[in-house]
Chains A and B, each alone.
Chain A
């Protein structure tokens, strides 16, 4: 494993458990900062793999968590680390950020918590499919030294193109293609 990958893995591990003895407000602050740290980690991972990337930035009236390019497709990143499942309205709000950007720009919505059961179907029912979903397991695999972030994105993109499935797990592909 390269030094950069090892460092990213350590950063990921550090995000898993809050320091002991935090007050309630300090814990809330730590969790908020964990969300920002996740955004940075994901973009750093893509950058380490040689992708064209940009860390989170503000535009008028909106915050973009990050940007990266895989296989000449431009992606906006949304990264959440919430204890409650992500509901469809959160993903729709992210989809709104894709509007007004270059046609063909895609979105990767990463939730380390769960997605609510209806998110997947709400995203594809009669709509333009332009957001892919990733969860904790996907990110852990992408951080695995034998796998990669870009492969994870590529696998998801390929499946969404073929079947419209926006929540295709990286593990599912690895199991089917050992």
Chain B
């Protein structure tokens, strides 16, 4: 009987700030990459702590994870300020030779704007996406975030938020059909 090679599931790590990002990603990723992908979401905490995440990134890559996604709130929509934040983080991973395995993304101005993007135009221009989202869904509980994420029209949202579109494009590069095409 021919031996069947087991196909290892795709494993991805996401380094995020807090609970909202975790609830969002754990609902979004199976929608984009299918249910078989193994996802680990790590709540790092304040933005300042991300400069020490190289250690976890290296550990997870060593453990067979395909890539590390770093997702932060930009807390601004000024392009030069976002680029500066990104360059500082890229330097951290470059110092340890990890830059090719780490995808750094900033939600502009914050993750709530991505969720708003399914419901209104120009979400990146919102001065207070948290408040606007709270008005829209009446709660910022994990359940409410997950429900909104499950119902989010990805095509509409990505057409209204460049930062969300960039994140989805990098994520979709790991979609099983693309992986097969690449191999």
Which A residues are within 8 Å of any B CB, using their own CB? 114-115, 117-118, 120-121, 135, 137, 159, 162-165, 167-169, 171-172, 175-176
A172 and B47 contact, CB distance less than 8 A: no
Which residues of chain B are near A172, meaning CB under 8 Å? Answer: 42-45, 49, 56
B84 sits at the interface (CB 8 A): no
Docked pose: A114 CA to B45 CA in angstroms: 11
CB distance from A42 to the nearest CB of B (A): 19
B43 and A171 contact, CB distance less than 8 A: yes
Docked pose: A164 CA to B52 CA in angstroms: 8
CB distance from A68 to the nearest CB of B (A): 23
Which B residues are within 8 Å of any A CB, using their own CB? 22, 40-49, 51-52, 55-56, 59-60
A120 and B49 contact, CB distance less than 8 A: yes
B55 and A169 contact, CB distance less than 8 A: no
Q: Which residue of A lies closest to B47 (CB)?
A: A117
Given contacts A117-B46, A117-B47, contact A165 B52 (CB under 8 A): yes
Docked pose: A95 CA to B16 CA in angstroms: 30
Which residues of chain A are near B48, meaning CB under 8 Å? Answer: 117-118, 120-121, 167
B47 and A169 contact, CB distance less than 8 A: no
Which residues of chain A are near B42, meaning CB under 8 Å? Answer: 172, 175-176
CB distance from B67 to the nearest CB of A (A): 16
Which residues of chain B are near A137, meaning CB under 8 Å? Answer: 45
B45 and A171 contact, CB distance less than 8 A: yes
Docked pose: A172 CA to B45 CA in angstroms: 7
Within the complex, which residue of A118, A120, A169, A175 is in contact with B41, where a contact is CB–CB below 8 Å?
Answer: A175
Docked pose: A175 CA to B15 CA in angstroms: 10
Given contacts A162-B55, A163-B55, contact A176 B49 (CB under 8 A): no
Which residues of chain A are near B43, meaning CB under 8 Å? Answer: 169, 171-172, 175
Within the complex, which residue of A118, A164, A167 is in contact with B45, where a contact is CB–CB below 8 Å?
Answer: A167
Docked pose: A135 CA to B55 CA in angstroms: 22
Docked pose: A135 CA to B59 CA in angstroms: 25
Docked pose: A167 CA to B52 CA in angstroms: 10
Docked pose: A28 CA to B51 CA in angstroms: 37
Docked pose: A137 CA to B41 CA in angstroms: 17
Within the complex, which residue of A120, A171, A176 is in contact with B56, where a contact is CB–CB below 8 Å?
Answer: A176
Q: Which residue of B lies closest to A171 (CB)?
A: B43
